[in-house]
């Protein structure tokens, strides 16, 4: 079925104007989610198609030069949205150099036919490939939005490729915007599908990023960046289940930084926070790949040591204690010595235990370490 090309252009432009208005309106409420730039891209796309409808009735600089520059600008805004959604600084010059290149090339080649058509196609191909690259680079783990972006850009590459084949084959006239043909209908259809997929991909990408931020806030301690109490307890439940199924040792250690309140009282909470981060980073860097650490309370931390018996865990924790004592916090002109007390409990689960038992035993051992004078490691009896 062959549709009237300029009628198609007008219909697509109308839908694009409505979609751009919605995206721009939504983007005003949160300018960091990429919706504003996506809306601007859709608006440029709509204006480009309005200019296409005038082909043959207005100058070429408007209906071809400006129209394709607007189309290129639309793809630039879509590309820009991808890093913005992730809160990253986009490469502005690279992204907007391509629409500028489109404008210059079409201004120079406007009185030609095949050269200007091929130049426009090559610039658009470069932009679609850039979208594919950015979609891969900023893909979220387990996310699907980048796939939609990549598919949309790839479909556009196919459509542009078809145009190039037709132009090189001597059918440049068939690609005029006032010609109604099956090839033109397919080309317009591909272009419309592309912009819809890119818009939906960006909306989904924004949603995935927001969900990832919420999950991070829910499961990670904002000060230290490690797992919070909820997350480390979930991890402990998983490790208990694994140790029970595999009949392997599991050790947990409860760490408490000694006299940390005095650090806050003497140096202030900002330096106290920096000292807390120093302790976490120092310990975290010395843990094994399968070990886990989480913030259990104010200055209290829970370590999970799978595949480790009580003796091995006590030795590891004592080495960490000595290492931290030998590496005080240095902030400005301050040098702040730190130490921690620890309680260790190691066992092989012989039943589906709940979390209370190992946590209670480790906490009892921690209490013994504090009672014995702090800066010590105590092991709970099995």
Domain, as residue range, for 305: 229-379
The mean pLDDT value of the chain amounts to: 87
Total number of domains constituting the chain: 2
Residues 193, 270, single domain; the answer is no
**Digit-coded pLDDT (tens) for 307-366:** 999 999 999 999 999 999 999 998 888 899 999 999 999 998 877 667 898 999 999 999
Please give the backbone phi and psi of residue 284, each rounded to the nearest 5 degrees, phi first: -60, -40
State residue 63's pLDDT score.
Answer: 87
**What is the DSSP track for 44-105?**
HHHHHHHHHHTBTTB-HIIIIIIHHHHHHHHHHHHHHHHHHHTTPPP-HHHHHHHHHHHHHH
* Percent of the residues in the chain that have a pLDDT greater than 90, as a whole number: 52
Last residue of a domain, one of 218, 245, 269: 218
Residue 224: inside a domain, yes or no?
A: no
Q: 27 pLDDT band (50/70/90 cuts)?
A: low
**Digit-coded pLDDT (tens) for 260-316:** 999 999 999 999 999 999 999 999 999 988 999 999 998 999 999 999 999 999 999
pLDDT at 180 over 60: no
- More confident call, 169 vs 189: 169
H or E segment to which residue 123 belongs:
helix 114-137
Residues 191, 271, single domain; the answer is no
State residue 227's pLDDT score.
Answer: 93
Query: Quick one: tokens of 205?
Result: 């990408």
Are the beta carbons of 277 and 226 closer than 8 angstroms? no
CATH number at residue 295: 3.30.70.270
User: What does the pLDDT average to over 195-219?
Assistant: 83
Residues 191, 257, single domain; the answer is no
Q: How far is CA 223 from CA 57, 269, 273, in A?
A: 63, 12, 7
State residue 100's pLDDT score.
Answer: 96
Residues 108, 188, single domain; the answer is yes
State residue 251's pLDDT score.
Answer: 96
pLDDT at 184 over 80: no
Q: 172 pLDDT band (50/70/90 cuts)?
A: low
* Percent of the residues in the chain that have a pLDDT greater than 70, as a whole number: 89
Quote the CA–CA distance of 269 and 86 in Å, as a whole number: 31
State residue 150's pLDDT score.
Answer: 93
Cα–Cα–Cα angle for 158, 160, 162, rounded to 5 degrees: 70
Query: Quick one: tokens of 26?
Result: 């939504």
Residues 321, 243, single domain; the answer is yes
State residue 149's pLDDT score.
Answer: 93
Residue 104: inside a domain, yes or no?
A: yes
Query: Quick one: tokens of 317?
Result: 């924790």
Average the pLDDT over each of 2-16, 129-143, 337-351, 358-372 and give the range with the smallest value: 2-16
Q: How far is CA 190 from CA 10, 31, 157, in A?
A: 16, 30, 10
The DSSP 8-state label assigned to residue 227 in this structure reads: B
Residues 240, 214, single domain; the answer is no
SS3 of 15, please?
A: helix
Residue 318: inside a domain, yes or no?
A: yes
Q: 175 pLDDT band (50/70/90 cuts)?
A: low
Residue 317: inside a domain, yes or no?
A: yes
Residues 250, 205, single domain; the answer is no
Residue 111: inside a domain, yes or no?
A: yes
pTM: 0.69
**Digit-coded pLDDT (tens) for 30-75:** 556 677 888 888 888 888 888 888 877 889 899 889 999 999 999 9
Which residues are CB-contacts of 291 (< 8 A; sequence separation ≥ 6)?
A: 303, 304, 305, 306
Residue 223: inside a domain, yes or no?
A: no
Last residue of a domain, one of 192, 218, 244: 218
Query: Quick one: tokens of 31?
Result: 């300018």
Residues 145, 25, single domain; the answer is yes
Least Cα distance to 187 among 365, 44, 3, 55 occurs for 3
pLDDT at 7 over 90: no
Least Cα distance to 279 among 336, 364, 222, 216 occurs for 336
**What is the DSSP track for 187-224?**
HHHHHHHHHHHHHHHHHHHHHHHHHHHHHHHHHB-TTT
User: What does the pLDDT average to over 132-150?
Assistant: 90
Residue 52: inside a domain, yes or no?
A: yes
Q: Where are the alpha helices (DSSP H) in 220-268?
A: 229-246, 260-267
Residues 187, 291, single domain; the answer is no
Residue written as tokens 């590309």? 79
Residues 259, 210, single domain; the answer is no
Residues 90, 180, single domain; the answer is yes
Residues 203, 254, single domain; the answer is no
Sort 85 into a burial class: Cβ within 10 Å, 0-12 / 13-18 / 19+.
buried
Last residue of a domain, one of 165, 183, 218: 218
């Amino acid at each position: 079925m062959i549709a009237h090309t300029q009628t198609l252009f007008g219909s697509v432009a109308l839908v694009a104007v409505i979609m751009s208005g919605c995206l721009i309106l939504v983007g005003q409420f949160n300018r960091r989610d990429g919706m504003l730039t996506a809306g601007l891209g859709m608006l440029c796309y709509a204006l480009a198609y309005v200019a296409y409808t005038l082909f043959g009735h207005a100058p070429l600089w408007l209906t071809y030069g400006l129209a394709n520059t607007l189309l290129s600008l639309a793809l630039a805004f879509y590309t820009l949205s991808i890093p913005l959604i992730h809160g990253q600084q986009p490469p502005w010059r690279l992204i907007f150099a391509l629409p500028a290149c489109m404008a210059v090339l079409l201004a120079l080649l406007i009185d030609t036919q095949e050269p200007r058509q091929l130049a426009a196609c090559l610039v658009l191909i470069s932009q679609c490939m850039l979208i594919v690259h950015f979609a891969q680079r900023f893909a979220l783990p387990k996310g699907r939005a980048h796939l939609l972006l990549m598919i949309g850009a790839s479909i556009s590459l196919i459509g542009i490729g078809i145009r190039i084949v037709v132009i090189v084959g001597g059918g440049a006239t068939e690609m005029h915007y006032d010609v109604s043909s099956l090839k033109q209908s397919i080309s317009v259809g591909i272009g419309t599908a592309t912009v819809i997929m890119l818009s939906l991909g960006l909306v989904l990408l924004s949603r995935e990023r927001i969900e990832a931020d919420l999950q991070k806030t829910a499961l990670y301690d904002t000060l230290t960046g490690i797992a919070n109490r909820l997350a480390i307890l979930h991890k402990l439940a998983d490790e208990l289940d694994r140790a029970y199924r595999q009949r392997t040792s599991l050790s947990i250690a409860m760490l408490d930084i000694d006299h940390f309140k005095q650090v806050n009282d003497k140096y202030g909470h900002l330096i106290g926070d920096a000292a807390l981060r120093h302790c976490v980073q120092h310990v975290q860097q010395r843990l094994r790949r399968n070990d886990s650490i989480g913030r259990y309370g104010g200055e209290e931390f829970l370590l999970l040591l799978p595949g480790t018996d009580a003796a091995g865990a006590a030795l590891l924790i004592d080495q960490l204690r000595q290492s931290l004592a030998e590496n005080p916090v240095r902030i400005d002109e301050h040098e702040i010595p730190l130490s921690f007390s620890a309680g260790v409990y190691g066992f092989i689960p012989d039943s589906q235990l709940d979390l209370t038992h190992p946590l209670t035993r480790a906490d009892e051992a921690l209490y013994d370490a504090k009672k014995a004078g702090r800066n010590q490691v105590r092991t709970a009896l099995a």
